[in-house]
Amino acid sequence: MRKALVIPLIALLSLAADCAAASAASSSLAAGPITVGVIAPFSGPAAEFGTLLSAPCIAATDLINKSGGVLGHKLQCTSVDDTGDPADAVPNVTRALATISNFDMAEGLETNTAATTIPLVNGAHIPFVTAAGLTGYDKTKDKYFWRLTPADDANGAAMIAYAKQKGYKKVAVVFEDNSTDTGNVPGINKAAPKEGVKLAVNTTIPADATSYSSLVATLIADHPQALVFDADPQTTATFLSNYSQLNNGKLPTLITATDSLTPDWYSAVAKAVGQSYIFHHVALVGSYFSQSTPAFTVYKNALLADSKTHGIANTLSSVGPPASIYDGLNILALAMVMAKSARGSVYNSDVTKVAKHQAGAEVVDSFAAGERALAKGKKIQYVGVLGAVTFNKYHNFAGAFAADVFTGKSTSRRSTLISASEVSKLLG
């Protein structure tokens, strides 16, 4: 997977085994840039996620390269198309691991294919940052796994906490029948009785059906005050259009995930039921981060500065998973600098040190600031867009949640906060 520099045989014979290992670690890079593999769908029906997951990589590597790169090497983002299908993901990722030079960092590994791609990348000893929400990774033993975004069940619990805040006593739960969306349901089921919220209907639907009228009629008869709902743009548009037609133009509030904050979702739903509904009756629930910190400003400006990400900068700067990828890549890059090695088996153990709060550490909010501090021999604590990150022993971090509302085609504003302790209690 990676080309090592050749060490003369005489030198090898004169070194003890531990020195040989250290030498191999420091010389693992071939000529050329360090590759960050963006493992995501770049073709097929979920191809939009490839664009969304590439953008934080572009923002992070632009800034890292502006600071001179890592260990004298620039970084590059390389697309690895998993197509959103596990059957395609395995050969495509396997091929990439075998052929891409200096493949020393990865990100993406999204929910639909994570169960097949994560073992491959972890087995290759490549540290990776994922936004996959599968709850099976809450207590993973995968050494090279790092996640700075909550699992799907936590997001589901946060949706119910928001419904409770708004005083809804009865909600209908409808999700598209894929692992990306239905992962929220266990958290919903656990949180609803604790919050005193009745689930009128709790079901899944196939994507892109021509009509959902039969199910919609059942929902209308049960009079839910809100819909806890997540599906692709066209499925959402068809479902809401059916609801409006069968209910004299009236629609309940829609509580969905922040990944619906995309131009495609907005356009499809606005065409079906109007912009006014989106602005006044849709809540986007997801992980919280402040949009008023210097770290956030650096992140958003980097998105705006690159022509490949400028058009979706507003969308990305409001959504947690891309921000978690950006922070995660900065942390991995600083771990490389700290370890003086790009080999995953060496720098992986420094990842927690980069983010950990420790006495005397200099708080840094960018790769450039962290690199300068390390060059002076200082300890650092990276506090980025997500704020302070505390990884647990399973390499997971999940912070607080927020609900946003649309202010435009790809913009939003904060509506309310949902504390991490409240969500944790609902899942306990």
Per-residue pLDDT reduced to its tens digit, 142-183: 999 999 998 999 999 999 999 999 999 999 999 998 756 678
pLDDT at 5 over 70: no
Query: pLDDT tens across 93-122, in order?
Result: 999 999 999 999 999 999 889 999 999 999
Contact 347, 127 (CB under 8 A): yes
Q: How far apart are CA 355 and CA 338, in angstroms?
A: 12
Q: What is the pTM of this model?
A: 0.81
Contact 165, 196 (CB under 8 A): no
Consecutive H or E run containing 79: strand 75-81
Q: Which CATH number fits domain 152-288+401-415: 3.60.21.10, 3.40.190.10, 3.40.50.2300, 3.40.50.300?
A: 3.40.50.2300
Consecutive H or E run containing 328: helix 320-339
The CA distances from residue 210 to 48, 201, 205, 214, 242, in Å, are: 22, 21, 12, 12, 10
Strands (E), 178-316: 198-205, 226-230, 253-257, 282-287
Consecutive H or E run containing 130: strand 128-130
**Residue 365: DSSP 8-state:** S
pLDDT given for residue 67 in this prediction: 97
In the chain, % of residues over pLDDT 90: 78
Find the DSSP H helices in 306-405: 313-316, 320-339, 344-347, 351-355, 367-375
The residue with tokens 């692992």 is 179
The residue with tokens 């005050």 is 225
Contact 408, 275 (CB under 8 A): no
Dihedral Cα 313, 317, 318, 324, nearest 10 deg: 130
Q: Find the range with the poorest average confidence among 52-61, 78-87, 176-185, 294-303.
A: 176-185
Domain map of the chain by residue range?
A: 32-147+319-388, 152-288+401-415
| CATH fold match for the domains 32-147+319-388 and 152-288+401-415 | yes
pLDDT given for residue 288 in this prediction: 87
CATH H-level superfamily of 32-147+319-388: Response regulator (3.40.50.2300)
Query: pLDDT tens across 377-413, in order?
Result: 999 999 999 999 999 999 999 888 999 999 988 788 8
Nearest CA to 374 out of 342, 397, 391, 350 is that of 350
Residues facing 175 on adjacent strands: 204, 230
For 5, the token pair is 């520099």
Q: How far apart are CA 228 and CA 199, in angstroms?
A: 10
Q: Name the CA radius of gyration of the chain, rounded.
A: 23
Q: Find the range with the poorest average confidence among 24-38, 52-66, 230-244.
A: 24-38
